[in-house]
C-alpha cells in the first residue's frame, strides 16, 4: 500500500481517513484525493495536509471515466479506497436519481479503471491475474442489510434487503463489486460499517445537527418516537478498521465494522442537551422518515477474530471529544451552515 487513490476525501469519513493515513502509515508515498466537491465536500477539512508532499487533490467526478483512467495512468495506484457517495438517507428520499448514478455507476467506473490498470492482460476476458499487492476497497454500510427487530444482529451473511434509495444504491454497488471479484478475479474487499460520529461530519446528520440546533436554542427534530436504534462508531475506529482490511483482508470478502454500541436516537439527543446544559423542552417530535429503519446492530466477530481489529474508543470518550471538537470549532460549522465553505475552492484554486 504505497500509492493510494481515496475518493470522496473531502467528506466526513474520507477526510478523517486522509488525516489518519498521513499521520500513521509510513509506507504511503502518495495519496490522491479525487472529489467532486458536492455540497458535502469541504476542502477546509484538509487544510492541515494540503502542503504535505505525499498529498494531491484532484477535483473531479468518479463517473468521469476519462479522468479516472488518466489519474490511474499518471499516479500508478496500487490501492483504491472508495468513499465517494451521496450519503444522506433523507436526501435520497426526495432526490433518488443522483444516488443511483453516483453510488452505482461511479463505483463501476472506478472498478473498470482499476481492472484495466491492474490486470496483467486486460484485453483477455479470461485473465484473472493482477499486479502484486493491488486492492480495491468499497466502503459500504450496514444499511444494505435493512432493518432489525428488537433482537438479532447483522452478520456478513445476512441477506441484503435495503429500504431507502440510498441503501438500495449502496447495496447495488456492493453487488457490482462482488461481480468484479467473481467474474474477473479482482482483488476486492467490501466493508459495511455502522453509523460514524466524530469531527468534520456535515451538520445534516443526527449528532452535528442536534448539537448545532441546541447551541442556537432551535428545536431538535426527532423523527417518530425517537426509539430507532443505531450502532455508533467513532470515525477514527472506522479508519483503523479500513486499514486493517487493506492489510489483512482476504480477497473477495465482506467485513462488517461496528462498535458494539447501540443507542436510541432520543438517548443521543438527551446526552447532547445534558452536555450543553440545555433544556429538554427543545426536543420536538416530528413526522417520521418514510421507510425509517427501526434498528441496526453489527456483529463484528469476523473482523475482530479473523483480522484482530477492535474499536479503541468508548462511546463516552468519543462523544466527549466530538462535542468538544464542534464547540471548539464554531467557525467550521458556521461556514458550512451559511454555505461559505463552498467559496473555499474557488478562493484557494482560482489562480492555480
Ligand atoms: P459525505 O457525504 O460526508 O462525503 C461524501 C464525499 O463524496 C464528499 O466529499 C463529496 O464531495 C464526494 N462526492 C460525492 N459525489 C461524488 C462524485 N460523483 N465524484 C467524486 N466525489 C464525490 O459522506 P461520509 O459520511 O463521509 O461517507 C463516506 C462513505 O462511507 C460513503 O460511501 C457512505 O456510504 C459510507 N458510510 C458512511 C457512514 C456514516 O455514518 N457516515 C457509515 C457507513 C458507511
Ligand atoms: O448506518 C450507516 C449509515 O448511517 C450511513 O450509511 C449513512 O451514510 C449515514 O448518513 C447514516 O445514516 P442514518 O440515516 O442512520 O443517519 P442520520 O444521521 O441521518 O440519522 C440517524 C438517526 O437519527 C436515524 O434514525 C434518523 C434520526 N434522525 C435524523 C435526523 C437528521 C432524526 O430523528 N432527526 C433528524 O433530524
C-alpha cell at 102: 453516483
Query: What is the pairing mode between strands 79-82 and 262-264?
Result: unpaired
Tell me the pairing of strands 3-7 and 79-82. Answer: parallel
User: Which DSSP category does 6 fall into?
Assistant: E
Closest ligand to C-alpha of residue 100 is 1
What b-and-e string marks burial along 14-37, b requiring 16 or more CB atoms within 10 Å of the CB?
Answer: bbbbbbbbbeebeebebbbbbbbb
d(CA 146, ligand 2 centre) in Å: 13
What's the CA gap between 301 and 350, in Å, rounded?
48
Distance CA 147, CA 86 (A): 20
- In tens digits, the chain (352 residues) has pLDDT values of 999 999 999 999 999 999 999 999 999 999 999 999 999 999 999 999 999 999 999 999 999 999 999 999 999 999 999 999 999 999 999 999 999 999 999 999 999 999 999 999 999 999 999 999 999 999 999 999 999 999 999 999 999 999 999 999 999 999 999 999 999 999 999 999 999 999 999 999 999 999 999 999 999 999 999 999 999 999 999 999 999 999 999 999 999 999 999 999 999 999 999 999 999 999 999 999 999 999 999 999 999 999 999 999 999 999 999 999 999 999 999 999 888 887 766 766 654 4
Strand runs (DSSP E) across 167-277, as ranges? 188-193, 196-197, 220-223, 229-231, 233-234, 254-257, 262-264
Tell me which residues have their CB closer than 6 angstroms to ligand 1.
Answer: 7-8, 10-14, 34-38, 40-41, 61-63, 83-85, 87, 102, 106, 139, 141, 170, 193, 195-196, 202
Nearest Cα residue to atom 34 of ligand 1: 87
Is this model's pTM higher than 0.95 or not? yes
**Residue 182: Cβ within 10 Å count:** 11
Q: Which residues contact 345 (CB under 8 A, 6 or more apart)?
A: 37, 43, 59
Alpha-carbon gap, residue 69 to 317, rounded angstroms: 42
Nearest by Cα to 228 from 163, 297, 282: 297
3-state secondary structure of 123: coil
Site to substitute for ligand 2 among 172, 206, 232, 262, most atoms within 8 A of C-beta: 206
CA angle 333, 336, 341 (to 5 degrees): 125
Q: Is 86 in contact with 166 (CB distance < 8 Å)?
A: yes
- Ligand 2 binding pocket (C-beta < 6 A) is 87-89, 141-143, 194-195, 205-206, 209, 221-223, 228, 230, 265, 289, 296
Task: Determine which residue's CA is closest to atom 5 belonging to ligand 1.
Answer: 11
97 a catalytic residue? no
Buried b (16+ CB within 10 A) or exposed e, 60-78: bbbbebebbeebbeebebb
Question: Which of 12, 95, 208, 345 maximizes ligand 1 atoms within 8 Å of its Cβ, making it the mutation to test the pocket?
Answer: 12
Ligand 1 centroid, distance to 299 Cα (angstroms): 23
* Backbone angles phi and psi of 163, in degrees to 5: -115, -15
**Chain centre distance of CA 11:** 8
Amino acid at each position: 500500500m504505497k500509492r493510494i487513490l481515496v475518493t470522496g476525501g473531502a467528506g466526513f469519513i474520507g477526510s478523517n481517513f486522509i488525516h489518519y493515513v498521513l499521520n500513521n502509515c509510513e509506507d504511503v508515498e502518495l495519496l490522491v484525493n479525487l472529489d467532486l466537491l458536492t455540497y458535502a465536500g469541504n476542502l477546509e477539512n484538509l487544510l492541515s495536509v494540503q502542503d504535505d508532499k505525499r498529498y494531491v487533490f484532484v477535483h473531479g467526478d468518479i463517473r468521469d471515466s476519462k479522468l479516472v483512467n488518466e489519474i490511474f495512468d499518471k499516479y500508478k495506484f496500487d490501492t483504491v479506497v472508495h468513499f465517494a457517495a451521496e450519503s444522506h438517507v433523507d436526501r435520497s428520499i426526495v432526490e433518488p436519481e443522483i444516488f443511483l448514478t453516483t453510488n452505482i455507476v461511479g463505483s463501476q467506473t472506478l472498478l473498470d479503471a482499476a481492472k484495466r490498470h491492474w490486470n496483467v492482460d486486460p484485453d483477455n476476458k479470461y485473465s484473472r491475474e493482477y499486479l502484486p499487492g493491488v486492492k480495491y476497497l468499497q466502503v459500504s454500510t450496514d444499511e444494505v442489510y435493512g432493518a432489525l427487530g428488537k433482537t438479532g444482529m447483522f452478520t456478513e451473511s445476512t441477506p441484503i434487503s435495503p429500504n431507502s434509495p440510498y441503501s438500495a444504491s449502496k447495496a447495488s454497488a456492493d453487488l457490482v463489486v462482488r461481480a468484479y471479484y467473481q467474474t474477473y478475479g479482482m482483488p476486492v474487499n467490501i466493508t459495511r460499517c455502522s453509523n460514524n460520529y466524530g469531527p468534520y461530519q456535515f451538520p445534516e446528520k443526527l449528532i452535528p445537527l442536534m448539537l448545532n440546533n441546541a447551541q442556537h436554542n432551535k428545536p431538535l427534530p426527532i423523527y417518530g418516537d425517537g426509539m430507532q436504534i443505531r450502532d455508533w462508531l467513532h470515525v477514527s475506529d472506522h479508519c483503523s478498521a479500513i486499514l486493517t482490511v487493506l492489510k489483512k483482508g482476504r480477497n473477495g470478502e465482506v467485513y462488517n465494522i461496528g462498535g458494539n454500541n447501540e443507542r436510541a436516537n432520543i438517548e443521543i439527543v438527551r446526552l447532547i442537551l445534558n452536555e450543553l446544559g440545555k433544556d429538554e423542552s427543545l426536543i420536538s417530535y416530528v413526522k417520521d422518515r418514510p421507510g425509517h429503519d427501526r434498528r441496526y446492530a453489527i456483529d463484528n466477530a469476523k473482523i475482530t477474530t479473523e483480522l484482530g481489529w477492535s474499536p479503541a474508543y468508548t462511546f463516552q470518550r468519543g462523544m466527549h471529544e466530538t462535542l468538544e471538537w464542534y464547540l471548539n470549532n464554531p467557525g467550521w460549522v458556521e461556514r458550512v451552515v451559511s454555505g461559505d465553505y463552498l467559496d473555499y475552492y474557488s478562493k484557494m484554486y482560482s489562480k492555480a
